């Protein structure tokens, strides 16, 4: 079952690109290969999803933004409008053009989030042990919901994970993201939509804790924030159907 009603940017692709996890969401049906041999439609979708994440991030930081940050948000908004105007133009695009736009939009997303994530509020920051313990518990819960999750090499047969089994908070988060993707892929048509939104919401909450813990590590915090924004975007897409 597709776990994104807008069919925009498979969540697994985001996890792969940002954490190097051994997941694959590049498989396409023969009909898709024939109709879109160069993945141009997929590239359009990835541009759209990146723009969505930029807008979500801008909304989150607007209230705490000073004048300089608000000017930056306005500048980003103008750049996004230019990208969208270009893509809406009635012309035939080459794959190279779309690929270049995708690279530019995703770089804009990365730099915008990296430069402004300090404007995001953080509640009490949990310790590394607490975060590792939370990841272990979430993984145990996901494995209980979907036995295929326990096939990952970091699970032990018939033994629940403990904090000590999680090397670091970020590795725990990456494992939760990978396991979440497996559970989402196994959602059945008769399952309630809240099963999907709850998974995204749970990942979003953990991402917020991990992002705050790694706030001083801009690259890691930015990577986690992008995954968090994608989870928020996905959940919002499904909310109208609940």
Closest listed residue to residue 153, CA positions, set 181, 179, 128, 129: 179
Residue ranges covered by each domain of the chain: 11-119, 128-241
Q: CA 51 to CA 167: how far, in whole Å?
A: 33
Q: CA 73 to CA 80: how far, in whole Å?
A: 10
pLDDT, average across residues 219-242: 93
pLDDT interval class at 89 (50, 70, 90)? confident
Average pLDDT of the chain, as a whole number: 83
Q: CA 78 to CA 116: how far, in whole Å?
A: 17
Closest listed residue to residue 233, CA positions, set 27, 16, 74, 60: 60
Lowest-confidence segment of 31-45, 54-68, 88-102, 165-179 by average pLDDT: 31-45
**pTM score > 0.95 for this model?**
no
Question: How many CB atoms sit inside 10 A of residue 25's CB?
Answer: 15
Lowest-confidence segment of 11-20, 38-47, 143-152, 232-241 by average pLDDT: 11-20
Q: CA 148 to CA 187: how far, in whole Å?
A: 12
């Amino acid at each position: 079952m597709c776990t994104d009603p807008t069919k925009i940017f498979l969540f697994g692709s985001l996890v792969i690109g940002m954490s190097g996890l051994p997941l694959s969401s590049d498989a396409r049906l023969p009909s898709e290969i024939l109709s879109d041999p160069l993945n141009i439609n997929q590239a359009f979708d990835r541009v759209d999803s990146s723009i969505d994440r930029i807008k979500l991030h801008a909304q989150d930081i607007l209230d705490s933004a000073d004048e300089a940050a608000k000017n930056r948000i306005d500048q980003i908004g103008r750049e996004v409008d230019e990208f969208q105007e270009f893509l809406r133009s009635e012309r035939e695009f080459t794959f190279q053009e779309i690929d270049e736009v995708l690279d530019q939009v995703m770089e804009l997303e990365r730099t915008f989030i990296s430069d402004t994530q300090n404007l995001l509020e953080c509640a009490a920051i949990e310790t590394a042990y607490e975060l590792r313990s939370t990841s272990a518990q979430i993984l145990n819960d996901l494995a209980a919901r979907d036995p295929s999750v326990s096939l990952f090499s970091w699970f032990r047969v018939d033994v629940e994970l403990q904090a000590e089994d999680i090397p670091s908070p970020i590795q725990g988060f990456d494992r939760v993201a990978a396991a979440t993707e497996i559970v989402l892929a196994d959602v059945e048509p008769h399952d309630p939509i809240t099963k999907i939104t709850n998974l995204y919401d749970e990942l979003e909450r953990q991402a917020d804790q991990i992002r705050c813990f790694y706030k001083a590590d801009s690259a890691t915090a930015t990577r986690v924030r992008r995954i968090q924004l994608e989870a928020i975007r996905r959940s919002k897409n499904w909310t109208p159907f609940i």
